Structure 1
Amino acid sequence: MKLNSLQQLIMDFIEKTDRPIFMTGKAGTGKTTFLRYIKANTTKNLAVVAPTAVAAINAGGVTINSFFQVPFGPLVPSTQTASLAELFDKKVGYEKTKLLKCLDLLIIDEISMVRADMIDYIDTVLRAVKGISKPFGGVQLLMIGDLYQLSPVFQKDWHVLRNYYTGPYFFDSLALRKTQLLTFELEEVYRQTDPVFVDILNSVRDGSGNEALLAKLNERHLENATAEELRDYVTLTTHNPLVKQINEQKLAALESEAYTYTATVTDDFPKEAYPAEEELILKVGALVMFIKNDASGKKRYHNGRTAKITALTEHSILLNFLDDGTELEAEREIWQNVKYAFSETDNKVTETNAGSFSQFPLRLAWAITIHKSQGLTFDNALIDVSAAFTHGQAYVALSRCRSLQGMVLLEKVKPANIITDKSVIGFMQAAKEKMPINTDLEQSIISSELGVLSSLYDFSIMILAWNTYKSILLERLSIDLTATEKLLHTEIGNIGTRFIQKELASQNESPWQSVSLKERLQKSSTYFLAKLELLEDMLIDLHQTYPAALMDDDYYLSVNLILEQLKGKTAMFRSLPSAIDTTTILERWKSAAIEYQAIDRWTSTTVTKEAEITNKALYDQLYAWRIKKGKERNTSDYNILSEQVLKDVAAKLPKTLKQFSQIKGVGEGKAFDFGDEILKMVRQYLGEGDLLF
């Protein structure tokens, strides 16, 4: 796929910044095609989610509900400590937590159907798991969809949600309002080429009510059209019972023999996600449509292309396309049920196939609901929007057609049938006035870099975690926590806030280009590392004095929350003096989160402070080398060698490749790859430094 200038700009914002992005466009502008390109070409750890099972399968992702384990009912927004702790452990789970910790980019397809409370729930989960107070825990959001199409279902829960939100749409999210959301609109329409038809669709889309264009549209109400003339037209209507009735009646009217084709389902593929009929019943003469693009790449058919069945056997389907009369023997297609998991070998988000669904990609096509027609393209359609009952329905139906000539209206379209939401129109008009351009990219890169540094000096999540731990301690013990409180709040939290205000808030250039700021960053790392080390001593002392008999799930959860925060901050500050960009710092945070060994009831209740590093000067040299090597190879530094391996090298001082390879976590492959450099540093150290035995 060759990108145009707008698509390239979007890719640059994805790759080089962490700004949340809303990518929209009229029907037929290639949003889904571009989504596939982004998935295949981004360097970020990503996951793709969608609001419904079928939309998720079509986007090559998973449902939002399954990925974030969303509870039923309205999701009341909350940032309280208790909810963070509960999400961290009980709702998200250990394996999913590890996956989310290394997530960089979350793509949400069909965003028009996603409610504001769902977006805020995602924000809460990601902040809790990532331990970063920035919206969405610093994860970049790419939201794709057309707000003028299908809207979210919210009416049943609105009596609760209206107390928190001004509207139900994703852009009403409280978390997104704290961000600078970028909106990009793809404008080149690939589905329709007639400029008059495009103008009609635009008028229906935004509800502008152009009378001349509406009159032109209503010329397609052909009162004298015969049943024979409309025989091969697909009927688009608002209600499912009518669709089912039309298809069943038409199929029953055919006198030919019925054949049933059963889908083949393997492993994990839930029924609600079936993208085609489990039992496909066909007869010769039946009107069908394809529901999937040709996976072979030969472009023999596309989503929505119609055909007529000409011959059937138990295992084969022969058909003729209505548009050009060509013949094709249909083949079964395979849909995969994607699952995301955390890979222990390379510390990345991996995409796996949990199950598959194989079926002929066909459905009866005498009628289809407007809702299910989203994403399809028809050459000939009989459209009824007289019973349209919600925002965007008329636009979705009309925009399925390639041309005005291929459309026939069952009833004339009245202004009342074109239902639009003023809040959507207002949001889109405001967004269009500030569409990003190339000159905005550089400032966004700087803003993202400063945002990462600000999150480093922001200890609010750590303080929330401490408050949870403190409340459990005070509830069960008579203990003086004044010194710990003073250290965390005054000497760490308040100083971090002042550093943000004084050094980062007014910065308008890249922090890595400012010599004075780099010096301040290095000095601050020394200060905070000392304070965090002292805090670790205090926390471990508290843990050791806590009665083992009282250590329940709430205790383990709270102590792990604060200790993991501490380990992450320590790793980031330790990387600061040698960091050349914010990627290094983020990778250290990610690495520390993944490598963190949680205290739980199955381990000794006596935890000792992390052992002093033997030969620390060598360890520091190895640490800096690992960061540099990760940059050279464009990979996370912990993919080079783990932190524990560095400690073992510094302690054991291997002198041969064999000795190096025998260190746990190295092996022959990494010994061959890095051995010469590691052994050289060890030899240099042995000639220059005093050993600490």
Structure 2
Amino acid sequence: LPFGGVQMLMIGDLQQLAPVIKKDEWNVLKQYYDTAFFFSCKALQKTTYISIELDHVYRQSDSKFIDLLNRVRGNQLDQESINLLNTRYKPNFKTDEAGYISLTTHNAKAQNINEVKLEKLKGTPYTFMAEITGNYSEYNYPTNAELVLKAGAQVMFVKNDPSPDKLYYNGKIGKIVSIEEDKVEVQCPGEDEAIVVYPLEWQNIKYTLDEDTREISEIIEGIFTQIPLKLAWSITIHKSQGLTFDKAIIDVEAAFAFGQVYVALSRCKSLEGLVLVSPVSSNGIISDNTIDKFTRKVEENQPSQEQLQDSEKLYREELLVDLFNFYNLEQALYYIIKLLKDHSSGLQKHHLSDFRDILKKINEDIAGISEKFLVELRALLINDNGTEEDAALQQRLSKASRYFAGKIDEVILKPVREISIDTDNRKVKKRINEALVRLLFEAKYKHSCLKACFNGFVLKEYLSIKAKAAIEDVTLKATAMKSGFTGTEIINKDLYDLLKAWRDAKAEKLDWSVYMVLQLKSIHEIADTLPSSIKELQSVRGLGKKKLQFFGEELLEMVREYVNPES
């Protein structure tokens, strides 16, 4: 299957700048692909994908300016449009005017403008050196590693404010009013107070697949820490993609690539905020026949109303079938049981039986029932003309949701939250912790989705709750992360904690590994059985003759003091 059967959603604007591809790279790739654009992807060409054109404009509100931009975008400029655009040609415009940013075609030109402007400013230059750790490519630096700033410099924020205040965003323009060794104050137009800016960090993240859990995990390969600013009297059109400006000076005289003119002009909110360094002609707008051809195909193949209705029906059915499918829960539990079996020698035996009991109840009360219900549900959905209007179906969904949510709470959430697994093997402990978190997350997520249907299935409400449940910061902490067991598992929890603390201190004093002094399963058994003699201690697993000889009396003394604190 193309893309491994995964549904793909691709969003972008083909009329903006084309992919950047080096000559030597293209010499290899052109043997396999017709173009460097996404639609030449072999896997994509094997699919019957749908293309939808989004035509609502948010950045601009003036209909005349929007029409002008659309004509530039489609390379359909007539003389009237060219005349309107060139009313913004200001050959004697003073670039020192506050709030304007210059957009140029080449990086060297932008850099030169910024350096000249900075040099003209009076005052002391401050140099901020980035702190770079690990692997972080210079090509991906978000701003200069050696950032030279002065009070009065026009700057642009290059990162969103991570604080709750959200005082700035990537692309916001302002002027430096104060500089100290570790902070910069920036005043932005229309705001009363200056923004205090401190260094922030960017992470170079590598994504890997965990072979055990089959989950994607993040590895931070490098960190770039710097003041999130860059000089912004001028930036390249390429760097301006995605940004919005109230005022911009556009220099596209040396435009060399498809999409450059359109991207530059469309960064501005209004025609009035735009200043042209040189007049624009229809010959200066570069088109790409490959893009034009694909765009026409998109326009001619918009999905029909019937296709939309069929897709909506299929989507509702997929959501509902998925809602009552508990495969992920079962798999998460199977994985925990496998871990417990593989490492049973260092764990309490009852843990394996506890989770086997949970699995048995899931199979009987959840998975088994869901298989029968899914047969019934699919039959009900055959004649579905709109789930929300089908009273019989809604009643059945409500009843089923309440049943399965109750069972998840009873069979999984409540008992698993009471289980705490401890082991001296840190690697094993970490894997078990992660597996428990995964199980609890899957159960909590499914419970939230089911709860959303207690009063019936309403698509918009369900999707909202489902999305929130999926991205919710998982505050569940597998109780295995704690240092001991919960009260439901240990009869004498205080003694368990005392013995564990003694064991850890003794190991440190002797410079031994903790398990060489006393294993956790031994501590657990002593805390449960309260042995009162060496003979009774001998029956505790993990306590051989040498350990009894070294530590027997100390252990018995702690048990006696716990049992008879007054004696």
TM-score, reference length from structure 1? 0.47
Aligned to 2:215: 348
Inter-CA distance 137–445: structure 2 relative to 1 (3 Å threshold): farther
Aligned to 1:385: 252
- The letter for the 2-side match of 1:245 is N
Inter-CA distance 447–231: structure 2 relative to 1 (3 Å threshold): closer
Inter-CA distance 668–336: structure 2 relative to 1 (3 Å threshold): farther
1:44-80 CA-to-partner distances (Å, cap 9, x unmatched) read xxxxxxxxxxxxxxxxxxxxxxxxxxxxxxxxxxxxx
How far, CA to CA, are the matches of 1:438 and 1:378 in structure 2?
Answer: 38
Matches within 5 A, 1:347-366: 347-366=214-233
Residues 1:211 and 2:93 aligned together: no
Inter-CA distance 256–211: structure 2 relative to 1 (3 Å threshold): same
Aligned to 1:674: 359
Conservation of the 8 A alpha-carbon contact between 1:661 and 1:668: no
Inter-CA distance 669–430: structure 2 relative to 1 (3 Å threshold): farther
How far, CA to CA, are the matches of 1:302 and 1:181 in structure 2?
Answer: 35
Inter-CA distance 679–409: structure 2 relative to 1 (3 Å threshold): closer
Residues 1:189 and 2:94 aligned together: no
How far, CA to CA, are the matches of 1:227 and 1:271 in structure 2?
Answer: 31
How far, CA to CA, are the matches of 1:352 and 1:672 in structure 2?
Answer: 36
Cα offset, 1:151, TM superposition: 0.8
Inter-CA distance 163–667: structure 2 relative to 1 (3 Å threshold): same
- The letter for the 2-side match of 1:168 is A
How far, CA to CA, are the matches of 1:326 and 1:307 in structure 2?
Answer: 12
Inter-CA distance 180–400: structure 2 relative to 1 (3 Å threshold): same
Cα offset, 1:365, TM superposition: 0.7
- The letter for the 2-side match of 1:156 is K
- Equivalent in 389, 393, 414 of residue 281 of structure 2: 414
Aligned to 2:184: 317
Conservation of the 8 A alpha-carbon contact between 1:631 and 1:637: no
Aligned to 1:274: 141
Aligned to 2:401: none
How far, CA to CA, are the matches of 2:353 and 2:131 in structure 1?
Answer: 44
Conservation of the 8 A alpha-carbon contact between 2:337 and 2:355: no
- Equivalent in 289, 295, 305 of residue 162 of structure 2: 295
Matches within 5 A, 1:498-513: none
Residues 1:245 and 2:118 aligned together: no
Cα offset, 1:367, TM superposition: 1.1
Aligned to 1:202: 70
Matches within 5 A, 1:71-470: 134-154=1-21, 156=23, 164-228=32-96, 230-324=97-191, 326-343=193-210, 346-436=213-303, 439-440=306-307
Cα offset, 1:174, TM superposition: 3.0
Cα offset, 1:258, TM superposition: 0.8
CA RMSD, aligned part only?
3.8
Cα offset, 1:638, TM superposition: 2.3
How far, CA to CA, are the matches of 1:394 and 1:321 in structure 2?
Answer: 27
1:657-677 CA-to-partner distances (Å, cap 9, x unmatched) read xxx9849xx747634633556
Conservation of the 8 A alpha-carbon contact between 2:183 and 2:199: no
How far, CA to CA, are the matches of 1:289 and 1:375 in structure 2?
Answer: 14
1:148-192 CA-to-partner distances (Å, cap 9, x unmatched) read 111124572556655654433221233322211222333332222
Larger radius of gyration: 2
How far, CA to CA, are the matches of 1:161 and 1:678 in structure 2?
Answer: 51
Q: Indicate the SS of the match to 1:358.
A: strand
- The letter for the 2-side match of 1:434 is N
How far, CA to CA, are the matches of 2:208 and 2:112 in structure 1?
Answer: 43
Cα offset, 1:440, TM superposition: 2.7
Conservation of the 8 A alpha-carbon contact between 2:155 and 2:175: yes
Cα offset, 1:347, TM superposition: 2.8
- Residue identity over aligned pairs, in percent, reads 40
Cα offset, 1:443, TM superposition: 5.1
Residues 1:638 and 2:331 aligned together: yes
Inter-CA distance 446–197: structure 2 relative to 1 (3 Å threshold): closer
How far, CA to CA, are the matches of 2:245 and 2:362 in structure 1?
Answer: 62
Aligned to 1:627: none
Cα offset, 1:642, TM superposition: 4.7
1:575-605 CA-to-partner distances (Å, cap 9, x unmatched) read xxxxx97x8xxxxxxxxxxxxxxxxxxxxxx
How far, CA to CA, are the matches of 1:311 and 1:645 in structure 2?
Answer: 60
Conservation of the 8 A alpha-carbon contact between 1:317 and 1:330: yes
Q: Indicate the SS of the match to 2:88.
A: coil
1:109-165 CA-to-partner distances (Å, cap 9, x unmatched) read xxxxxxxxxxxxxxxxxxxxxxxxx22332333333211111124572556655654
Q: Indicate the SS of the match to 2:207.
A: strand
Inter-CA distance 442–339: structure 2 relative to 1 (3 Å threshold): farther
1:379-404 CA-to-partner distances (Å, cap 9, x unmatched) read 21111111101100111111111221
Q: Indicate the SS of the match to 1:341.
A: strand
- The letter for the 1-side match of 2:332 is N
Cα offset, 1:309, TM superposition: 0.9
Conservation of the 8 A alpha-carbon contact between 1:306 and 1:365: yes
Inter-CA distance 207–299: structure 2 relative to 1 (3 Å threshold): farther
Conservation of the 8 A alpha-carbon contact between 1:323 and 1:379: no
Q: Indicate the SS of the match to 2:295.
A: helix
Aligned to 1:620: none
- The letter for the 2-side match of 1:194 is D
Conservation of the 8 A alpha-carbon contact between 1:373 and 1:397: yes
Q: Indicate the SS of the match to 1:288.
A: strand
How far, CA to CA, are the matches of 2:182 and 2:338 in structure 1?
Answer: 58
- The letter for the 1-side match of 2:359 is F
Inter-CA distance 671–164: structure 2 relative to 1 (3 Å threshold): closer
1:200-251 CA-to-partner distances (Å, cap 9, x unmatched) read 21111121123322221111112342344x3542111111111111111111
Cα offset, 1:335, TM superposition: 2.2
Cα offset, 1:355, TM superposition: 3.8
How far, CA to CA, are the matches of 2:185 and 2:122 in structure 1?
Answer: 18
Cα offset, 1:433, TM superposition: 2.8
- The letter for the 2-side match of 1:402 is K
- The letter for the 1-side match of 2:86 is N
1:634-679 CA-to-partner distances (Å, cap 9, x unmatched) read 6264223159959x9xxxxxxxxxxx9849xx74763463355679
How far, CA to CA, are the matches of 1:239 and 1:200 in structure 2?
Answer: 25
